[in-house]
Structure 1
């Protein structure tokens, strides 16, 4: 799979900052050019929100965060980039000038994407020396969570460029959709503009407030759209007769004078002030950053729910997340460096994220189990029990767990876990995990687990294959020389 190794972002505002975060969290080094005097602060705040969101989004092993560097010129930013993303303000003359500078300084094989919301790529590439590599890559805010990118080529964009752009989005967890014909505002913004126009009239005519209008969306069809879109939603609305029945029943409504989509509302000072005041009241004192965090938490919840839909196969954006996690596990799951078996294996390194804590700022109980489960999974990957192994029909199932809470893990704290094999045979693994404060070395918690090797289809324990047992026994032989850890074999309530 073709990947982006180095990226450049020209423009670091709302959209550019989202691209920067998406690339960095995918392990890609990013150079940024943005002349705004506070660009580093703005990008830093977007990245902080993105990291919090990813901590809630997935437990898969993210790659080490890419390196971020700010440059003083466009040329320095793009010189060695594989993918260059332009996200400057929506002015044709400005974008053309910037893209021409990028084109002159970029490597011949670099891809150049524009985040424009509606300008035609043919117009953008008009004066470029290498117009065949320019395309629109229009994302949705927040770019680091919403995975869709509209890919639109101009008259001079090559088919190879479109394919390369689509391929390179997959490893960073995004879905490229190729818009077949060049058209102003593409697809998504045309739909949004129609809804926006009608919404402005409803506020202008005092039919409702901005809060009421948003409630109509978020408590009804917005929930349907989040997971099934427009046409499939209406197919269901047609009942057993499907889409044809729906069109026959509701098609005549299109001729009724319900909407004002052909009229443009006058956004005069009075209407701007009305909308602004109502929007202030709706925000109820929350800052933009607070609203962004609430938005991110809600989106993560929806994505996680969709990941488990359709019998666990995932649905829509949830399936995309599930596939992205499979890639992360595959990339991070089989370290090639040999492990020192003369001591417990240090397997998980992480920090206590905002999504893991209760109202006191302490890590909640189920997160301890999650970390210990991740530790067991890390050991299983070391012995060859990875996703491919599980998909083939075999795995180790945890049948018993005993956790001791000895300290408290707190928000932002760096923690790590170790694993010691206490015993192993053809079907069983007895493990002892310990969770530590990385800075002080204090033991925060321990867990003892028993795992059984099973045939998933038969639903019963079976002997593990020889190639797995060889790796298990090699680690177990080293760990057999270690002392039995304090706390091993305890039962609930046992006195010290």
Structure 2
């Protein structure tokens, strides 16, 4: 073979992630199952526990409920979940095998050897260990290069971080592939440069935990007070900035160097017992257990999980709106995950290109628990959110998508009219049909109708006027010919029967200051409504 042929040989295919296997279905294993499934990945499970299917099912139910509140992006169809009687059957077709058995090195080595012998040679193998060294775990494997630690945090389906740690026998490209394959699941794989007992996260947690145990043992506070100190103060700072970025701010305008100079000497003060190990004798164990029972009286583990998930969803959603809407920390990761979901959903739909006369496709949304008000109905602002999503659906169809916005132009909504005509309740599926009423080179007049999919009942209508805007100047500008041609192809001629009564409506005073009437607004065409 000559040098030219050698240089042009195709690169070996990189691993893809369509099928996963989870060995162990407990708290962590079940979380991995949920994370993979909700990303559209098929999951095969092996766990000899007699109630493994029930336990995984309950974790998955919590995850589905959490995702319903976490994002309104179109999730892919769930992957297929299967349970197998043998480990070999579970891993046979998997692209990624995640081991999550109890933290005993001999047990893990035995299970990993079984996985290594039964899995495809190109499959990746990750271990959920929270502290065992990957070099120790891959000892004796026939294919150590594809093994690594993938240490997540509970709940795996909500907390996105995974520490990716290779051992002495791990191939560098394995770590790279693991990080890459996790991205479409909404997770952030963080490569750890060198293996060390307990990695990074658990070493930090262990230091805090050790000091906490001393504070309880010495009678400084009880467990609830200690938790309050964390969750009402620095816990919230850590949730969005971590440790070093938080302390950089504490240094003021002089930054981290000033902080270290001012507070560094305190490290020599006798503040900590981190070098001593507390004696967890029966008396201390009983005290901690009793205080914990009192703190959580009336709250089952499942209820605590649901409360935890609610709180995490709220924090993630809040962080998603940070930094002027660009997202911050885990919130930015969520925004990027949602953008990927929307992009894949749009690619899955038939694109309006060569055959543009099929019309605008309806948008389907499901009323999630986070959308419900005190009456048990979909709360008012969620109607506008759905209509906004429908407008985005139209903009996607005409080519004014995220890439178009990033290129410097967009359509801005300048006028809206929403009519509430019916009730939407938890679990209802709403179908939104959209119509381009009229348009010109700068204006786009849209009308949306929301119906309940179960019975076809009309729930709401929304009418919107949009202006095409040059984002740099912030002023209206003509849309390019390519956009206008798509608009023209999708624009309706005559309104469907029964639709004219919803277009051009407005609320205006009637016969008295306390009375209002719904009447035709002053003009229904784009040229007269501005």
Matched, 1:400 2:415: yes
Does 2:523 match 1:494?
Answer: no
CA distance in 2, matches of 1:169, 1:268: 42
Q: What residue is the counterpart of 1:42 in the other structure?
A: 55
Match of 2:190 in 1: 177
Distance 2:88 2:374 in 1: 48
Looking at structure 1, the residues matched to 254 and 431 of structure 2 have their Cα atoms a distance apart, in angstroms, of 56
Question: 1:476: which partner in 2?
Answer: 491
Q: Which residue of structure 2 aligns with residue 432 of structure 1?
A: 447
1:383 match: 398
1:20-99 mapped onto 2 (5 Å cutoff): 20-99=33-112
State the 1:249 CA deviation.
2.4
Provide closer, same or farther for how the CA distance between residues 292 and 32 of structure 1 changes in structure 2, counting only shifts above 3 A.
same
Deviation at 1:346, TM superposition (A): 4.1
Task: Give the drift of 1:64.
Answer: 1.7
Q: Secondary structure at the match of 1:151?
A: strand
> In structure 2, which of residues 225, 244, 263 is the aligned counterpart of residue 250 of structure 1?
263
Q: For residue 368 of structure 1, report the CA deviation from its aligned partner.
A: 0.9
Q: Which residue pairs with 2:143 in the alignment?
A: 130
| TM-score, structure 1 normalization | 0.95
Contact 1:330 1:387 in 2 (8 A): no
After superposition, give the CA deviation of every residue in 1:307-336 in whole Å (9 maximum; x if it has no partner): 222233322212222222222222223455
> SS of the residue aligned with 1:431?
strand
Aligned to 2:458: 443
Deviation at 1:129, TM superposition (A): 0.9
Q: CA deviation at 1:305?
A: 2.2
Residue of structure 1 in register with 2:253 after alignment: 240
Q: Distance in 2 between matches of 1:347 and 1:267?
A: 61
In 1, Cα distance between equivalents of 2:83 and 2:156: 20
Q: CA deviation at 1:484?
A: 5.9
The answer to whether the 8 A contact 2:360-2:397 is kept is no
1:100-249 correspondence runs (5 A): 100-249=113-262
Could you tell me whether the CA contact under 8 Å between 2:211 and 2:272 is conserved in 1?
A: yes
Q: Give how far 1:30 is off.
A: 1.2
**Residues 1:2 and 1:336: Cα distance change in structure 2 (over 3 Å):** farther
Q: Secondary structure at the match of 1:494?
A: strand
Spell out structure 1 runs of 4+ moving beyond 3 A.
338-346, 479-484
Unaligned runs of 5+ in 2: 1-13, 508-516, 521-530
CA offsets 1:353-409 (integer angstroms, 9 cap, x no match): 111101232110111111111111111111111110011111111122211212111
Counterpart-to-counterpart distance in 2, 1:239 and 1:272: 42
TM-score by structure 2 length?
A: 0.89
Report the Cα distance in structure 1 between the residues aligned to 2:253 and 2:394, rounded to whole angstroms: 50
